[in-house]
Amino acid sequence: GESVGLHLPTLSVQEGDNSIINCAYSNSASDYFIWYKQESGKGPQFIIDIRSNMDKRQGQRVTVLLNKTVKHLSLQIAATQPGDSAVYFCAERWSGANSKLTFGKGITLSVRP
């Protein structure tokens, strides 16, 4: 069946360093992938997404990499800041328009000052 999982439950980084959060997915039919950030007591916020016809996409300080060969997704955050401390979720969609997203368990990013 479909599943989305994250390799590590927590990640602690020094302020100013780069962060890399990894995610594995198992459904080769997935064609859309997305990263959300969730701060304590709040709803998930969109960070960046990527479609299966791409292998890299960049935003402001964030980059998402997609490796379809090994079904791996990663989120890179440059110059990590205290405001980046949150739980990060990857999610996938495999059924086209307006279908549900399937989420992984989440990883906590803690930024040390």
- Whole-angstrom distance, CA of residue 82 vs CA of residue 113: 7
Nearest approach, Cβ of 106 to another protein (angstroms)?
A: 5
- Whole-angstrom distance, CA of residue 60 vs CA of residue 81: 13
Instruction: Show the DSSP H helices in 26-98 as ranges.
Output: none
- Whole-angstrom distance, CA of residue 91 vs CA of residue 3: 9
Answer for which of 18, 58, 81, 99 binds another protein (CB under 8 A) is 99
Answer for which of 23, 44, 86, 109 binds another protein (CB under 8 A) is 44
Answer for which of 46, 60, 83, 113 binds another protein (CB under 8 A) is 46
Nearest approach, Cβ of 96 to another protein (angstroms)?
A: 7
DSSP single-letter state for residue 96: S
Q: What is the contact surface with another protein in residues (CB under 8 A)? A: 32, 34, 36, 42-46, 49, 89, 93, 96-106
